[in-house]
Structure 1
Amino acid sequence: MAQGLIEVERKFIPGPGTEERLQELGAVLEHRVTFRDSYYDTPELSLMRADHWLRQREGSGWEFKCPGATSVSGPHTEYMELTAEPAIVAQLCEVLGGVPAQETAPAKLIVYLQRFRPQDYQRLLEVYGSREKPQGTKDPDMRLG
């Protein structure tokens, strides 16, 4: 399994008057951070049922959280956090069982030509057909729907 960070969170619910008491002790709000997470799963909630969490954090990219201690059963409190996309894809394939991973995404220009200028794409294939495939695609005949 790929190396990742281990995140340990302790959550608590402050009692009434906690903020006021902190201010009495001299505490001040240094700064506030707001972010938005989008979580992804299968329609069957396969990731959640396996205690795995795939999210895209606004401005930070993809994160995949999986249980950190394998000997513990039930809900976990320690999670390993993967942030490198190849490691995330590999772990997703392992958890979801046989989800094919695309080696490299096709270049934006290739996709544009395929979708909106198929004649130009065909010319490109003709030019490169006898030598090599156009850069950015591993299968020159690949069509996106």
Structure 2
Amino acid sequence: MTVEVERKFVCDAKIMGKLQDIGAECIGERRFRDQYFDSPDFILTLQDFWLRRREGSWELKCPTVSGTAPDKDTETLCTRYREITSLPLIQSEVSRIIRERTAEGSESNSSQREQIDKVSENEDTEICSANDTKWLNNLNLACFAEFKTERRSCTIEREAGAVRVDLDQADFGYCVGEIEVLVPEGGDMNAALQRITGVAVELGLSSETKVKGKMDIYLQRYRPEHYEKLLIAHIL
């Protein structure tokens, strides 16, 4: 399992020239559609868990806390998420989260708990098919955000290791860049943050304010109630 460490930045017309100047190599372009799922009362996202289906492949982004003490400013500008890409593991983790939250409710939730138990008991059976949405229905999960992205990706080779840069143009009119390093779970998080900061400096990114991602802007525009709850919970 890996931890995704990234820093977002605002794209401008000069960004490709800047990337070429620092030796970035373009590794391709692609288009994809993302769908994000949660319960009606936002059980997952209010705990900073993000369940996504991208062109048929599932991923669960989970919050993670470093055991080290990185520079405060660097930490503020970057995000870190543990990534689960195995569908059976995703189903297990999501059902656990919802089961724990549902258990805090009243007996009126007994029907939903039975559905959750069905998912847990059948994690290794046919419901693990990527195209089968039965488990979503059993957990009362629905799509709350859906958008398409055009992405151009580059890699930058440095002595400390490669750094990836993605330039994303969302179909709702927002463009954002991401400087990303993948770290094995339990790996050196500070080193990853330093590599990201180094590339940011080379690109002349001087912003001391965390840049909003595609999801922030999407929710702000199209799901303001959800967005407000996430702000109050200090998730966004």
In the superposition, the TM-score normalised over structure 1's length comes to: 0.55
Structure in which a larger fraction of residues adopt helix: 2
Selected match of 2:47 from 47, 50, 53: 50
* CA RMSD of superposed structures (Å): 3.1
Residue 94 of structure 1 corresponds to 96
| CA-to-aligned-CA distance 1:109-134 (integer Å, 9 cap, x gap) | xxxxxxxxxxxxxxxxxxxxxxxxxx
From the CA coordinates, give the structure whose radius of gyration is larger.
Answer: 1
Q: What do the CA deviations read for 1:20-43 (whole angstroms, capped 9, x no partner)? A: 455677877552122111111111
Aligned to 2:126: 105
Tell me which residue corresponds to 2:85.
83
Give 1 or 2: higher strand fraction: 2
Give per-residue Cα distances to partners, 1:80-121, cap 9 Å, x unaligned: 110111211111122111522151237xxxxxxxxxxxxxxx
Distance 1:23 1:90, change over 3 A: closer
Q: TM-score, normalised by structure 2?
A: 0.36
Identity %: 37
Long gaps (5+) in structure 1: 107-145
Q: Indicate whether 1:64 and 2:60 are aligned.
A: yes
Provide structure 2 residue ranges, at least 5 long, that are not aligned to the other structure: 68-77, 100-112, 128-236
Give the Cα separation in 2 of the matches to 1:22 and 1:96.
43
Which protein, 1 or 2, shows the higher relative CO under an 8 Å CA cutoff with sep ≥ 6? 2
User: Structure 1's 37 and 24: CA in aligned 2 closer, same or farther, altered over 3 A?
Assistant: same
Q: Does 1:39 align with 2:46?
A: no
The DSSP-based 3-state class of the residue aligned with 2:32 is coil
1:19 aligns with 2:21: no
The amino acid across from 2:58 in the alignment is W
- Residues 22 and 68 of structure 1: CA distance in aligned 2, closer, same or farther (over 3 Å): closer
Number of residue pairs matched by the alignment: 99
Inter-partner Cα distance in structure 1 for 2:126 and 2:16: 49
